[in-house]
A and B are shown apart, each in its own frame.
Chain A
């Protein structure tokens, strides 16, 4: 299998879509025989501690109880997963069970007939999940995936560094954030860690600012009209520019990755920066990529993205998303049953206990032990509205353009007014 897949990857590269034809010609897809032995090919992106062994253990248990099912697990790094899935889906042979964030990317896969409609199969138990979490996987009232994790983006901050800079309360407005940054800089502390090479972490700032300034409706309307060239989106860029002009980021941030040894998470985990705007997984990645492998422990705090003065959006609207699994079109019959097994309240509790997953099953919420995760879950529970990551919610080309454009804004090569024109142009071309 491994050999086959690597050849597939290679071919995809050689032809840029051209190779895809060839691969689809020589791959036979999954088997669909309900009675006989079944192999579930499962790609997930929890390729590090703590979730990697948990998934493996769950798969073992399921195989133990179902002797006719074998589960082939392929843990992949996030970026590697995206590249590999693209090749596989373009070849028309998606894995049986694979990571999905829902939204625009899932919709494209649905439109292409690569993903199974599992609405009827999950109906008996999907009600046990948080509705906000399931929403990104619901397309035209049909369910194409199941989330096992849901969370939101917010500021993670180092309490010690805040205290050292004389910041006693977390900011509750954008002006307060800028003020905090100034104080931190004044105290000789790097205020913000950012992974410029990966681009998606920077888009959180612009998206949140747009949400706070224009409101959730502005984001929906922009997607519908394919027009981001509005005063609200320009204002979001201008507010972001205010932050960038303070030069708050760590040295070399334009080349930094999120999870690498000297990246955004490591900078936070090693106490090298005072805050980062990141999702619920931040504490566990900070710990695993820090030198001590422990992160900054209980010095880590969380505060939601604050309001922007004069903005139309509510400060309790949450921006985030989760992780889930979609089922490939040729998946064997027991795949959805296995998915159900992964999402039992017990298994969700096990996942939640690692601190890397915020459970989507309501009954499992009691298993969130980590105080940081509890705060995120509480904020999420009282959120007045929810917006999926823009690079997932919108069609991929638009999402990538937003990432690219925000990177250009932060690097200072484009103005707020220019980037909304660039994004609009791509949106209109879709």
Chain B
């Protein structure tokens, strides 16, 4: 439920909290002086309070509630142990949620991100009016999820939506894609991609522009073609950004809610339901808050597990500098 912190430098040892005194260097890595401790307390208390209140406390309460059969009114009293979890894992809808989440992740990683990367490379070329293109492609990201979803329900309104009109020209009937259990998940993916590919495109574009020109010049001098230069120079140097994009994409997909809720409500017949939608249905429609809490905890654990493993294994090299190197040597 709770978004895991994507800022990995919370553990950074040396926090600059005041003007460095003459003995700041000597103090480095040691216990802070009383004055600094006071400063630390002053600056950390507000954020720590908020963090405890809005992140840690809800997690604690939700994990507690997930052990009860509870309709959300009064205090939970009917302790059922892990029943809510075994129920979730046996529930075809919830298992379907896991499968659909997996499908969406695979689609994101194989279609959405490569497309964004390709577009970023294209918009890095000296094109006429590329500033305008960049703006246009990034624009959807600025819209809120709900606005986007409402927009697309109109576009794919079965009988008079724009999607229907255009697809008729093309000899197809795409107007009812949200009404067909076989196509709805892909339609949702399309809308999610429409909204988010701009963000990834900008990330990739920024990273691409951070690659020194000399490297490509050197590659070309050595006789590399466009593809070779991309494959052996650009791509490796985009590595950190790609890895972060994958991370954001996966976490975002696990938590997908607003878009699906407004577009389809999870239907028809659960065909586009995600874990968050199932949780909402049970918590806010059926008043089975205990069960809904269990689902939210599963979501949280999945996100957390993925975040930890990914940071440990995949992002280790990228975050090494941020976590361990003190000065700016890059």
Contacts and interface: CB of A to CB of B under 8 A. Distances in A.
B62 A17 contact: yes
Interface stretch (B19-27, B103-111, B209-217, B277-285): B277-285
Interface stretch (A221-229, A256-264, A274-282, A293-301): A256-264
B241 interface: no
B53 to A, nearest CB: 7
A250 B293 CA distance: 38
B284 A83 contact: yes
A17 B2 contact: no
A400 B283 CA distance: 12
Contacts of A267: 159
Nearest to B257: A13
B101 interface: no
Interface string A210-236: 000000000000000000000000000
B72 A197 contact: no
Contacts of B61: 15, 17-18, 21
A120 interface: no
Contacts of A197: 179, 264-265, 267-268
Nearest to A91: B72
B267 A255 contact: yes
B154 interface: yes
A365 interface: no
Nearest to A403: B285
Interface in A51-92: 82-83, 86-87, 89-90
Nearest to B72: A90
Contacts of B289: 16-17, 90
B180 A254 contact: yes
B51 to A, nearest CB: 13
Interface string A1-41: 00000000001111111111110000000000000000000
A389 to B, nearest CB: 15
> What is the size category of the interface that chain B forms with chain A?
35 or more
A235 to B, nearest CB: 23
B58 A112 contact: no
B198 interface: no
Contacts of B295: 16
Contacts of A255: 158, 176, 178-180, 184, 264, 267-268
A328 to B, nearest CB: 14
Contact of A411 (B2, B70, B268, B292): B268
Contacts of B128: none
B316 interface: no
B293 A17 contact: yes
B73 A14 contact: no
Given A252-B158, A254-B181, A255-B158, A18 B65 contact: yes
Given A17-B293, A18-B65, A253 B179 contact: yes
Q: Which of A86, A108, A267, A401 has the most CB of B within 10 A?
A: A86
A22 B57 contact: yes
Interface string B65-83: 1000011111000000000
Contacts of A129: none
B279 to A, nearest CB: 6
A196 B267 contact: yes
Contacts of A407: 267-269
> What is the size category of the interface that chain A forms with chain B?
35 or more
A245 interface: no
Contacts of A413: 181, 269
A86 B284 contact: yes
A428 B60 CA distance: 29
A111 B58 contact: no
Contact of B62 (A18, A111, A261, A411): A18
B140 interface: no
A16 B300 CA distance: 12
Contacts of A83: 284
A208 B58 CA distance: 43
Contacts of A196: 179, 267-268
B54 interface: yes
A396 interface: yes
Given A18-B1, A90-B72, 8 more contacts: A13-B280, A17-B293, A22-B53, A252-B178, A253-B179, A254-B267, A254-B268, A261-B154
Interface of B: 1-2, 53-54, 57-62, 65, 70-74, 153-154, 157-161, 175-176, 178-181, 184, 264-265, 267-269, 279-281, 283-289, 292-293, 295-296
Interface of A: 11-22, 82-83, 86-87, 89-90, 108-109, 111-114, 196-199, 250-256, 260-262, 267, 272, 395-397, 400-401, 407-408, 411, 413
18 contacts: A14-B2, A15-B296, A16-B283, A16-B295, A17-B61, A19-B58, A89-B72, A250-B158, A251-B159, A252-B158, A254-B179, A254-B181, A255-B158, A262-B157, A400-B285, A411-B181, A413-B181, A413-B269
Pick the 5 closest A-B CB pairs, nearest first. Answer: A252-B158, A255-B179, A112-B73, A252-B176, A15-B58
